[in-house]
Amino acid sequence: MTDIGDRTIVRLSSSSLDPSGTRLRFERRVRGLAPQADEHVEQDLLTGRQTIEAPRSRPRAYGPNGVVLDVTMTASGPDHSTHWKYVLTQECSVIELPVDDRFGHNQTGPAAQFTSDGRHLALSHQTPDRQISGVTTVDLLDDQVERFDGVELVGSGCWSPDGSRLLVASSPGGYPEVLDTRLGSLTRLDTVIENPRDTPWLTLVGWIDDASLLAYRDVGARMHFIAVDVASGRRRDLFSVARPAPKSEISGVIMAQYVAQSSPASCALPPDRN
């Protein structure tokens, strides 16, 4: 995916996987190119075709049925105050969302994520001092906007399939909690949280179905993937793969949300036989 002839790749970064699992986007810096000329590459994982995209200040977010979210920032006025613009495009339709918060942060996945049915969008926000500001949800059917302060999105499958709950954290790098967007309540994952002295740590990636989450452990030279029941904490080993690079060079695991949630039985926990 990174073959660019005789030029030497200096750095790869800011990768994002399409939730359908068909396209990968990443930035690469090539020796001899100025930093501001970093190449933005889109790789079709089905055909192998690569295209070079125009650089953007923020990566696009892709929803189901061809919906695309572009986030841009502009500075204006004598104080150079910043303004954020969120624009949805689908076929010939272009809609600007009623949101003007600073686009935020998600340490383990995209800061903008759609539900699998495309109705709801969640956006993480941060204040300029990089402290957590909150999560905004937008109902794209009726333009209803809700704001939840003091949390940020976690993982690449933040939304539960029914569109009612989000995987969040109340501090940068903090252990995930479940935010019920209908009730506005936070629930600690007490059955999932482990003893901090236990190593390696269990990392949550996102929702498989409405009852379970995908997680992984990085052990030795392998990464072990696990399904975890949210209510009971019960776990099921799914599979393991060889770690593709040194541990320090892996920024995390990105789940193809629409793929995982379309066939949850392939990795869901078996029913109790009691």
Per-residue confidence (pLDDT) for residue 199, from 0 to 100: 56
Highest mean pLDDT among 51-55, 75-79, 239-243: 239-243
Residue with tokens 């993937």: 225
Contacts of 239-246 with CB under 8 Å at 24 or more apart are: 243/218
Question: Which two tokens mark 200?
Answer: 């390696």
Per-residue confidence (pLDDT) for residue 274, from 0 to 100: 35
Per-residue confidence (pLDDT) for residue 273, from 0 to 100: 40
Mean pLDDT of 181-186: 93
- pLDDT at residue 64 greater than cutoff 50: yes
244 Cβ contact list (under 8 Å, min separation 6): 250
Q: φ, ψ for residue 72 (rounded to 5)?
A: -130, 155
Residue with tokens 């810096």: 29
Q: What is the pLDDT of residues 14-42, one digit of tens each?
A: 567 777 788 887 777 666 655 555 777 88
Q: What is the pLDDT of residues 163-183, one digit of tens each?
A: 999 999 887 667 789 999 999
Q: Pairing relation of β-strands 235-242 and 203-207?
A: unpaired
Highest mean pLDDT among 117-126, 167-176, 191-200, 246-255: 117-126
Per-residue confidence (pLDDT) for residue 4, from 0 to 100: 44
Q: What is the pLDDT of residues 247-271, one digit of tens each?
A: 766 767 888 888 888 776 666 555 5
pTM (predicted TM-score): 0.82
Per-residue confidence (pLDDT) for residue 87, from 0 to 100: 93
The answer to whether 117 touches 163, Cβ cutoff 8 Å, is: yes
Strands, E assignment, the chain: 9-17, 23-30, 39-44, 50-53, 61-62, 68-76, 81-90, 93-96, 112-114, 120-126, 132-139, 144-149, 152-153, 165-169, 177-180, 185-188, 203-207, 212-219, 222-229, 235-242
Per-residue confidence (pLDDT) for residue 145, from 0 to 100: 93
Percent of residues, the chain, with pLDDT higher than 90: 27
Query: What is the residue-averaged pLDDT of the chain?
Result: 81
Q: Is 258 helix (H, G, I), strand (E, B) or coil?
A: helix
Mean pLDDT of 205-226: 91
93 Cβ contact list (under 8 Å, min separation 6): none
